[in-house]
Structure 1
Amino acid sequence: MKNSKIKNIIFDLGDVILNIDVPVASKSFAELSGREQAEILELFSKNALFRQFETGELDEAGFRNYVRKILDFSDLSDEAIDTAWNSLLLDLPPERVELLQNLAKNYRLFLLSNTSSIHITQVNKILEASTGIEKLEDLFETVFLSYEMGLMKPDPRIYQKVLEQAGLKAEETLFLDDNLANIEAASKLGIDTIHVQKPVTILEYLKDYAV
């Protein structure tokens, strides 16, 4: 049901706008290194690899070198690492972009994503191939990315920073995310939320907001 107070909509990226399959990345690294997928997941989790990269503690070179170190595979090329890392990124349905363009006529639109620079480069390639639009910044007033902000959802500070920087009132703002913890954290700050759960997409969730 439409909330008539809403003036601003903040979107997550993965599995909200762009389809993703997170386990594919660990599978790709397993195939690259000749290890079991479960071992890859344990190694990456134990070393907080993704968190470090997605909060900007590691830059691209640092991320790739850390992958080589963790996997004990010094000959792994930059391209091989990037390809494995990006393998979780799937497609971006054009109809979701059309919805965003429609919503932009009446709402201020923002993106808030836990992500990395390598992923964003690839997402922009997928976006252009799918729609002809060159970059995410062409769809949103501001694109808020965890690796640039030094914070990750569901840390309450990341939502507060978005509200403050964009000059938004929580009660006038709607946030869509596929992760329940992220939704709950935003709700506690007074932000209206929609928990996006496949197979339902933003086309259905936001049909009452579209023109």
Structure 2
Amino acid sequence: MDSATTTTTLKNLIFDLGDVIIPIDLTAPIRNFANLANLPEADVAAMWKQFDILNQYETGLIDDDAFRNHVRKLLKSDSWADEVIDTAWNTVLLDLPLERIERIKELKQNHRLFLLSNTSPIHIRKVNYVLQTMNQPTLEELFERVFYSYEVRLAKPSPEIYQHVLSEAGLEAKETAFFDDNAANIRAAAGLGIQAVHVQPPKTILDYLNDVV
């Protein structure tokens, strides 16, 4: 929705993680796994899609060890250590802008803040590690509640995940803004009456917050 249509009754802010708080490169993990396995990137991408590894992992159907074992089996790389797989997987995460964290901390004074992300445990541990090296709160400390797809066993853009957040946190949709970079996620949230804000480059979350809050 257009941020100009938001109302003064805005009490709650829900943030996506990737490309909202932390910039990401979705192509990087496949590229790095392909390099490690000495395979064409297109072949690895096709296998990844065929076996639906990402969705299984991000919705909690498989755990860290099962994910890593899937990768080893798929790429015929039984000798890869856990750290090798985790490092390649985490290349999706780019540098975390400190000013975004500082702005979120400021917003806590007047708003209830939540995180809603389609993500995996390996990524969350990495983001929290980076935050700690920056002397910043972890995601769980930064937000009142965090909702990770792998924990709630649901994923955006399913309407059920938004309903889960509203119910669990006791939020009114009309008093809640949701910031996400994915158009399908925005449409699903807006369909429930949430004030959905599509974060699109070259603007960043800081620009949208200035417009909305």
Q: How does 1:43-62 map to 2 (within 5 A)?
A: 43-62=47-66
| 1:62-110 deviation digits (Å, cap 9, x = unpaired) | 0000111111211111111000000110111111011101111111000
AA paired with 1:34?
N
Letter in 2 for 1:139: L
CA RMSD, 1 decimal: 1.0
How many angstroms apart in 2 are the aligned matches of 1:77 and 1:70? 15
Q: Which whole-Å deviations, capped at 9, do the CAs of 1:135-187 have from their partners, x for residues lacking one?
A: 10111000100000101100110000000000001111000000000000001
Q: After superposition, what is the alpha-carbon deviation per residue over 1:23-71, rounded to whole angstroms, capped at 9, x for unaligned?
A: 0111000011111111111111110000000001110000000111111
* Correspondence for 2:90: 86
Q: Which residue of 2 aligns with 1:6?
A: 10
Instruction: Could you tell me which runs of 5 or more consecutive residues in structure 1 were left unpaired when the two chains were aligned.
Output: none
SS at match of 2:9: coil
What code does the residue aligned with 2:59 have? T
Q: What's the counterpart of residue 174 of structure 1? A: 177
Relative to the length of structure 2, the TM-score reads: 0.95
What is the number of residues matched between the two proteins? Answer: 209
**Runs of 5+ in structure 2 lacking a partner?**
none
Aligned mate of 1:183, from 177, 181, 186: 186
Cα distance in 1 for residues equivalent to 2:111 and 2:199 = 19
Identity of aligned residues (%): 52
Alpha-carbon distance in 1 for matches of 2:183, 2:193? 16
Q: Secondary structure at the match of 2:136?
A: coil
Structure 1 segment 106-185 matched on structure 2, within 5 A = 106-130=110-134, 132-185=135-188
Q: Distance in 2 between matches of 1:178 and 1:39?
A: 27
Shift of 1:129: 2.2
